[in-house]
Amino acid sequence: MRAGHKHPSHSFFIISILITALSACQSEGYPTSNSVPTFIPSTSTPTQTPLPTLTPTPTPLECLSRPGKLKQDSLATTVPAQEFLIYLPPCYQEIDSISYPVLYLLHGQTYTDDQWVRIGAVDHADRLILSGEIPPFIIIFPDDRYWNLPPGPGFGDRLLDLVPYVDKNYRTLEDSEHRAIGGLSRGGGWAIRLGLTHPNLFGALGLHSPVVFNDDGGFIESWVSRIPVSSMPRLWLDIGDRDKELGSARLMDRILSDNDFPHEFYVYLGDHTEAYWSLHVEEYLRWYGAGWQPNP
């Protein structure tokens, strides 16, 4: 049986507010990403649901100054079992009455579920959450190690099975508004397929140097055009100016623009490497977290 229970009133923001109050007492600041986009054809502004005003407790909990936890888990009912790493934000274990948004981050081809961790996702999440710059949320890092083996094409189905498993076994906010999916390289290709064909599941879609699958290229415009305006997820697309997939990304931007799909598109200096993605991980997390910020 899972610990705690759901709170439709979005009570997870109490931790965000407590962390903000705690960080206001600290003199040390953290630099933000200094990357400047060279091309931004369109932007979108997230729609926020009114949230209750919460008052910080006089004495912040000790967990508000400690990092979150990273653990291994597995969905045993799929074939093969779908393994994944999960990041639980600060105070998740200490306060069992609060539920959180969830971000699914998919890795690139030839890598495993620790790629995002290695390039800094967990370190940046800890720092940004503890400083109050983004609200706390859970991050799932699914493993796609079978990409070149017979089970490879089934990763999308296994990930769709993973969503209800995570919602059942961890304290998540189960609506699409509080669930996001993003990926780099091959992971970005999966994020395109799953995000555009299941807009009822994911309220935000991050495409980081995505590689569009050959079988999907002819369907993307159809997928985009079928999404009702009310169900369009927030969408971010970025890529390096020396990336071999740049033409594909520009085509993706054109399709989105032609279909009046609000999105952000950034072309930065760089190519298709971990060095590029590691430079922008903080920026990605800030973008995902911005969709879950409490109203002032």
Residue-level pLDDT at 18: 59
Residue 6 covered by a domain? no
Q: In Å, what is the CA distance from 94 to each residue of 4, 72, 85, 90, 116?
A: 11, 19, 20, 8, 26
**pLDDT (mean) for 262-267:** 98
More confident residue, 153 or 58: 153
Residue with tokens 């994911």: 202
Indicate the SS3 state at residue 145: coil
DSSP string, 260-275: T---EEEEES--SSHH
Rg over alpha carbons for the chain, rounded to the nearest Å, is 18
Residue 113 covered by a domain? yes
Distance between CA atoms of residues 197 and 223, nearest Å = 6
First to last CA, the chain: 35
Residue-level pLDDT at 59: 53
Residue 124 covered by a domain? yes
Residue 2 covered by a domain? no
pLDDT digits (tens, 9 = 90+) for 193-247: 999 999 999 999 999 999 999 999 999 999 999 999 999 999 999 999 999 999 9
More confident residue, 28 or 13: 13
**pLDDT (mean) for 159-178:** 98
Distance between CA atoms of residues 266 and 199, nearest Å = 22
For residue 58, which amino acid is it?
P
Residue-level pLDDT at 236: 98
Structural domain boundaries enclosing 151: 13-290
Indicate the SS3 state at residue 158: helix
Residue 246 covered by a domain? yes
Which residues have C-beta within 8 Å of that of residue 287, sequence separation ≥ 6? 206, 236, 264
More confident residue, 63 or 256: 256
Average pLDDT of every residue of the chain = 86
**pLDDT (mean) for 52-76:** 77
Distance between CA atoms of residues 263 and 206, nearest Å = 10
- Work out the number of other CB atoms within 10 angstroms of the CB of residue 127: 16
Residue 8 covered by a domain? no
Residue 193 covered by a domain? yes
**pLDDT (mean) for 267-286:** 98
- Residue 294's pLDDT band (boundaries 50, 70, 90)? confident
Which residues have C-beta within 8 Å of that of residue 210, sequence separation ≥ 6? 183, 184, 185, 188, 189, 191, 192, 237, 239, 245, 248, 249, 252
Instruction: State the virtual CA torsion across 269, 40, 250, 46 in degrees, nearest 10.
Output: 120
Total tally of structural domains belonging to the chain: 1
Residue-level pLDDT at 163: 98
Residue 95 in this model has a pLDDT that exceeds 60: yes
- Residue 20's pLDDT band (boundaries 50, 70, 90)? low
Residue-level pLDDT at 61: 80
Residue-level pLDDT at 9: 40
What's the CATH number where 73 sits? 3.40.50.1820
Residue 4 covered by a domain? no
